[in-house]
Amino acid sequence: MSEDLDGADTGAARVTAAVLVIGDEILSGRTKDRNIGYIAEYLTEMGIELAEARVVADDVEAIAEAVNALCARCTYVFTTGGIGPTHDDITADGVARAFGVAVHHDPRAVEILKSFLGDRLNEARLRMARMPVGAELIENAASKAPGWRVENVHVMAGIPSVMQAMLDAVAPTLRTGVKMLSRALAAHDVKEGDLGGPLGEIQARHAGVMIGSYPQFDGGRFLTTVVVRSRSEAALEAASAEVARLIVELGGAAPRSAEEQA
Protein backbone atom coordinates (compact mmCIF):
# COMPACT_ATOMS: atom_id res chain seq x y z
CA MET A 1 0.00 0.00 0.00
CA SER A 2 2.86 2.38 0.77
CA GLU A 3 4.19 4.53 -2.05
CA ASP A 4 7.64 4.31 -0.41
CA LEU A 5 7.85 0.69 -1.57
CA ASP A 6 7.83 1.53 -5.27
CA GLY A 7 10.55 2.80 -7.58
CA ALA A 8 13.41 3.24 -5.10
CA ASP A 9 16.78 1.52 -5.18
CA THR A 10 18.03 -0.15 -2.00
CA GLY A 11 19.93 2.33 0.13
CA ALA A 12 19.06 5.25 -2.12
CA ALA A 13 15.80 6.52 -0.67
CA ARG A 14 14.20 7.33 2.63
CA VAL A 15 12.77 4.16 4.16
CA THR A 16 10.20 4.71 6.90
CA ALA A 17 8.40 2.63 9.47
CA ALA A 18 5.58 2.89 11.97
CA VAL A 19 4.98 0.92 15.15
CA LEU A 20 1.45 0.05 16.21
CA VAL A 21 1.18 -1.21 19.78
CA ILE A 22 -2.07 -3.05 20.43
CA GLY A 23 -3.52 -3.72 23.87
CA ASP A 24 -5.87 -2.39 26.53
CA GLU A 25 -3.21 -3.26 29.14
CA ILE A 26 -0.83 -0.68 27.64
CA LEU A 27 -3.46 2.07 27.58
CA SER A 28 -4.52 1.36 31.17
CA GLY A 29 -0.95 1.44 32.43
CA ARG A 30 -1.02 -2.12 33.76
CA THR A 31 1.73 -3.02 31.32
CA LYS A 32 4.55 -0.66 30.37
CA ASP A 33 5.55 -0.72 26.72
CA ARG A 34 9.12 -1.90 26.18
CA ASN A 35 8.95 -2.42 22.45
CA ILE A 36 8.77 0.99 20.78
CA GLY A 37 12.20 2.14 21.92
CA TYR A 38 13.80 -1.19 21.03
CA ILE A 39 12.29 -1.22 17.55
CA ALA A 40 13.26 2.43 16.99
CA GLU A 41 16.91 1.78 17.83
CA TYR A 42 16.98 -1.46 15.86
CA LEU A 43 15.55 0.12 12.72
CA THR A 44 17.69 3.26 13.01
CA GLU A 45 20.80 1.09 12.95
CA MET A 46 19.52 -0.39 9.68
CA GLY A 47 18.85 2.97 8.05
CA ILE A 48 15.08 2.76 8.52
CA GLU A 49 13.46 5.84 10.05
CA LEU A 50 10.70 5.36 12.61
CA ALA A 51 8.19 7.99 11.52
CA GLU A 52 5.30 7.27 13.87
CA ALA A 53 4.20 5.16 16.83
CA ARG A 54 0.64 4.59 18.00
CA VAL A 55 -1.10 2.67 20.77
CA VAL A 56 -4.62 1.38 20.21
CA ALA A 57 -7.09 -0.66 22.24
CA ASP A 58 -8.13 -4.26 21.66
CA ASP A 59 -10.78 -3.14 19.21
CA VAL A 60 -11.13 -4.51 15.68
CA GLU A 61 -12.18 -1.20 14.13
CA ALA A 62 -9.44 0.75 15.91
CA ILE A 63 -6.80 -1.72 14.74
CA ALA A 64 -8.06 -1.70 11.16
CA GLU A 65 -8.22 2.09 11.02
CA ALA A 66 -4.69 2.47 12.37
CA VAL A 67 -3.28 -0.19 10.04
CA ASN A 68 -4.86 1.44 7.00
CA ALA A 69 -3.53 4.87 7.97
CA LEU A 70 0.01 3.75 8.77
CA CYS A 71 0.64 1.30 5.96
CA ALA A 72 -0.46 3.87 3.40
CA ARG A 73 2.27 6.33 4.30
CA CYS A 74 5.14 4.22 5.66
CA THR A 75 7.36 1.70 3.96
CA TYR A 76 6.83 -0.77 6.79
CA VAL A 77 4.44 -1.19 9.72
CA PHE A 78 5.29 -3.28 12.77
CA THR A 79 2.54 -4.26 15.19
CA THR A 80 3.11 -5.71 18.64
CA GLY A 81 0.58 -7.50 20.82
CA GLY A 82 -2.74 -9.22 20.37
CA ILE A 83 -1.67 -12.53 18.80
CA GLY A 84 -1.80 -14.74 21.89
CA PRO A 85 -4.25 -17.45 23.03
CA THR A 86 -6.93 -15.37 24.76
CA HIS A 87 -10.27 -14.03 23.60
CA ASP A 88 -9.03 -10.44 23.44
CA ASP A 89 -6.14 -11.28 21.11
CA ILE A 90 -7.82 -9.88 18.02
CA THR A 91 -5.00 -8.34 15.99
CA ALA A 92 -5.65 -10.89 13.23
CA ASP A 93 -9.24 -9.71 12.95
CA GLY A 94 -8.25 -6.05 12.78
CA VAL A 95 -5.54 -6.54 10.17
CA ALA A 96 -7.80 -8.80 8.12
CA ARG A 97 -10.47 -6.13 8.13
CA ALA A 98 -7.93 -3.51 7.03
CA PHE A 99 -7.03 -5.63 3.99
CA GLY A 100 -10.53 -6.95 3.31
CA VAL A 101 -9.68 -10.64 3.71
CA ALA A 102 -10.90 -13.51 5.89
CA VAL A 103 -9.23 -14.98 8.97
CA HIS A 104 -8.40 -18.67 9.21
CA HIS A 105 -6.23 -21.10 11.13
CA ASP A 106 -3.17 -21.18 8.91
CA PRO A 107 -2.24 -24.86 8.30
CA ARG A 108 1.49 -24.14 8.45
CA ALA A 109 1.12 -22.38 11.82
CA VAL A 110 -1.08 -25.20 13.12
CA GLU A 111 1.63 -27.73 12.27
CA ILE A 112 4.28 -25.64 14.02
CA LEU A 113 2.12 -25.50 17.16
CA LYS A 114 1.37 -29.22 17.02
CA SER A 115 5.06 -30.06 16.73
CA PHE A 116 6.00 -27.81 19.61
CA LEU A 117 3.05 -28.27 21.99
CA GLY A 118 1.91 -31.82 21.31
CA ASP A 119 -0.95 -32.78 23.64
CA ARG A 120 -0.92 -29.28 25.17
CA LEU A 121 -2.39 -27.79 21.99
CA ASN A 122 -5.91 -26.89 23.08
CA GLU A 123 -8.51 -24.59 21.51
CA ALA A 124 -7.08 -21.51 23.22
CA ARG A 125 -3.52 -22.15 22.06
CA LEU A 126 -4.80 -22.87 18.57
CA ARG A 127 -5.81 -19.21 18.39
CA MET A 128 -2.13 -18.43 17.91
CA ALA A 129 -2.45 -19.92 14.41
CA ARG A 130 -5.22 -17.46 13.46
CA MET A 131 -4.18 -14.99 10.78
CA PRO A 132 -5.50 -13.39 7.60
CA VAL A 133 -5.73 -15.61 4.54
CA GLY A 134 -2.59 -15.16 2.44
CA ALA A 135 -0.34 -14.06 5.30
CA GLU A 136 3.35 -15.02 5.25
CA LEU A 137 4.77 -16.50 8.43
CA ILE A 138 7.44 -14.83 10.57
CA GLU A 139 9.70 -17.30 12.35
CA ASN A 140 9.68 -17.24 16.16
CA ALA A 141 12.86 -18.74 17.58
CA ALA A 142 11.84 -17.83 21.14
CA SER A 143 8.48 -19.58 21.61
CA LYS A 144 7.71 -21.08 18.18
CA ALA A 145 4.21 -19.56 17.65
CA PRO A 146 4.84 -17.58 14.46
CA GLY A 147 4.16 -13.96 13.68
CA TRP A 148 3.03 -13.07 10.19
CA ARG A 149 3.11 -10.48 7.44
CA VAL A 150 0.45 -9.08 5.11
CA GLU A 151 1.90 -6.77 2.44
CA ASN A 152 4.02 -4.21 4.35
CA VAL A 153 2.51 -4.96 7.78
CA HIS A 154 4.55 -7.20 10.09
CA VAL A 155 2.59 -8.60 13.03
CA MET A 156 4.66 -9.57 16.06
CA ALA A 157 4.17 -10.61 19.67
CA GLY A 158 3.89 -8.15 22.54
CA ILE A 159 6.25 -10.03 24.88
CA PRO A 160 9.57 -8.20 24.36
CA SER A 161 11.82 -11.27 24.11
CA VAL A 162 9.50 -12.91 21.59
CA MET A 163 9.06 -9.69 19.60
CA GLN A 164 12.83 -9.30 19.43
CA ALA A 165 13.25 -12.82 18.07
CA MET A 166 10.64 -12.10 15.39
CA LEU A 167 12.30 -8.80 14.49
CA ASP A 168 15.59 -10.63 14.01
CA ALA A 169 13.82 -12.97 11.60
CA VAL A 170 12.24 -10.08 9.70
CA ALA A 171 15.33 -7.87 9.46
CA PRO A 172 17.05 -9.64 6.53
CA THR A 173 13.93 -9.16 4.39
CA LEU A 174 13.73 -5.39 4.86
CA ARG A 175 14.85 -2.77 2.38
CA THR A 176 17.16 -0.30 4.07
CA GLY A 177 17.87 3.35 3.38
CA VAL A 178 20.74 5.73 3.96
CA LYS A 179 21.61 5.59 7.64
CA MET A 180 20.94 8.68 9.73
CA LEU A 181 24.13 10.07 11.27
CA SER A 182 24.12 12.13 14.45
CA ARG A 183 26.43 14.29 16.51
CA ALA A 184 25.70 15.33 20.10
CA LEU A 185 27.40 18.54 21.30
CA ALA A 186 27.39 19.41 24.99
CA ALA A 187 26.97 23.12 25.77
CA HIS A 188 27.92 23.56 29.43
CA ASP A 189 26.60 26.67 31.18
CA VAL A 190 24.68 27.72 28.07
CA LYS A 191 20.91 28.01 28.41
CA GLU A 192 18.57 26.71 25.74
CA GLY A 193 16.85 30.10 25.50
CA ASP A 194 20.11 31.69 24.39
CA LEU A 195 20.76 28.96 21.83
CA GLY A 196 17.25 28.86 20.39
CA GLY A 197 17.29 31.74 17.90
CA PRO A 198 20.78 31.17 16.47
CA LEU A 199 20.18 27.42 16.19
CA GLY A 200 17.17 28.15 14.02
CA GLU A 201 19.36 30.27 11.75
CA ILE A 202 21.93 27.47 11.48
CA GLN A 203 19.15 25.01 10.69
CA ALA A 204 17.89 27.28 7.89
CA ARG A 205 21.34 27.41 6.30
CA HIS A 206 21.74 23.63 6.17
CA ALA A 207 19.18 21.74 4.11
CA GLY A 208 18.85 18.09 5.02
CA VAL A 209 20.07 18.68 8.57
CA MET A 210 17.93 18.40 11.71
CA ILE A 211 18.96 20.16 14.90
CA GLY A 212 17.43 19.60 18.33
CA SER A 213 18.35 20.99 21.75
CA TYR A 214 17.79 19.24 25.07
CA PRO A 215 18.29 21.21 28.31
CA GLN A 216 19.24 19.82 31.71
CA PHE A 217 19.86 21.39 35.12
CA ASP A 218 21.48 19.40 37.92
CA GLY A 219 20.80 22.02 40.61
CA GLY A 220 24.06 23.82 40.15
CA ARG A 221 24.91 23.89 36.47
CA PHE A 222 23.08 24.21 33.17
CA LEU A 223 23.78 21.82 30.34
CA THR A 224 22.19 21.93 26.92
CA THR A 225 22.92 19.07 24.56
CA VAL A 226 22.54 19.97 20.90
CA VAL A 227 21.97 17.01 18.59
CA VAL A 228 22.69 17.43 14.88
CA ARG A 229 21.35 14.76 12.50
CA SER A 230 21.81 14.21 8.77
CA ARG A 231 22.20 11.42 6.23
CA SER A 232 25.13 13.34 4.71
CA GLU A 233 28.41 13.21 6.61
CA ALA A 234 29.60 16.43 4.98
CA ALA A 235 26.40 18.26 5.91
CA LEU A 236 26.60 16.88 9.44
CA GLU A 237 30.17 18.11 9.86
CA ALA A 238 29.43 21.57 8.47
CA ALA A 239 26.38 22.17 10.67
CA SER A 240 28.10 20.72 13.75
CA ALA A 241 31.05 23.07 13.26
CA GLU A 242 28.68 26.07 13.23
CA VAL A 243 26.93 24.83 16.37
CA ALA A 244 30.27 24.39 18.12
CA ARG A 245 31.31 27.95 17.23
CA LEU A 246 27.97 29.27 18.48
CA ILE A 247 28.39 27.55 21.83
CA VAL A 248 31.79 29.16 22.30
CA GLU A 249 30.43 32.57 21.26
CA LEU A 250 27.76 32.26 23.97
CA GLY A 251 30.36 31.61 26.65
CA GLY A 252 30.42 27.85 26.71
CA ALA A 253 33.47 25.63 26.59
CA ALA A 254 34.48 24.23 23.22
CA PRO A 255 32.15 21.23 22.96
CA ARG A 256 33.15 17.71 22.22
CA SER A 257 30.79 15.30 20.57
CA ALA A 258 29.21 12.54 22.56
CA GLU A 259 31.29 10.01 20.59
CA GLU A 260 34.47 11.81 21.59
CA GLN A 261 33.39 11.98 25.22
CA ALA A 262 32.62 8.25 25.42
The domain that holds 91 is classified in CATH as: 3.40.980.10
103 and 61 part of one domain? yes
Residue 253: predicted pLDDT: 82
103 and 204 part of one domain? no
10 and 67 part of one domain? yes
86 and 124 part of one domain? yes
C-alpha–C-alpha distance, residues 28 and 15, integer Å: 32
41 and 132 part of one domain? yes
Find the length of the chain.
262
Residue 28: predicted pLDDT: 96
CATH classification of the domain holding 198: 3.30.70.260
Structure pTM? 0.81
DSSP letter (8 states) at residue 220? S
Q: What are the CA-CA distances from residue 96 to residues 42, 125, 150, 155, 167 (Å)?
A: 27, 20, 9, 11, 21
Q: Could you tell me which of 139, 80, 86, 79 has the C-alpha nearest to residue 108?
A: 139
pLDDT tens across the length of the chain (262 residues): 554 443 333 345 789 999 999 999 999 999 999 999 999 999 998 999 999 999 999 999 999 999 999 999 999 999 999 999 999 999 999 999 999 999 999 999 999 999 999 999 999 999 999 999 999 999 999 999 999 999 999 999 999 999 999 999 999 999 988 888 889 998 888 888 889 899 999 999 998 899 999 888 777 777 889 999 888 899 999 999 999 999 999 988 888 654 433 2
Residue 260: predicted pLDDT: 38
Which secondary structure element, helix H or strand E, spans residue 64, and what is its range? helix 60-73
166 and 122 part of one domain? yes
Task: Tally the domains of the chain.
Answer: 2
15 and 40 part of one domain? yes
- Among 108, 138, 173, the domain boundary falls at 173
104 and 224 part of one domain? no
Q: Are 178 and 10 in contact (CB under 8 A)?
A: no
Q: What are the CA-CA distances from residue 245 to residues 137, 221, 230, 250, 251 (Å)?
A: 53, 21, 19, 9, 10
Residue 237: predicted pLDDT: 93
Q: 238: domain range?
A: 181-261
Dihedral over alpha carbons 104, 117, 143, 50 (to 10 degrees): 0
Q: Characterise 82 by phi-psi region: left (phi > 0), alpha (psi -120 to 50), beta (else).
A: left
88 and 160 part of one domain? yes
74 and 104 part of one domain? yes
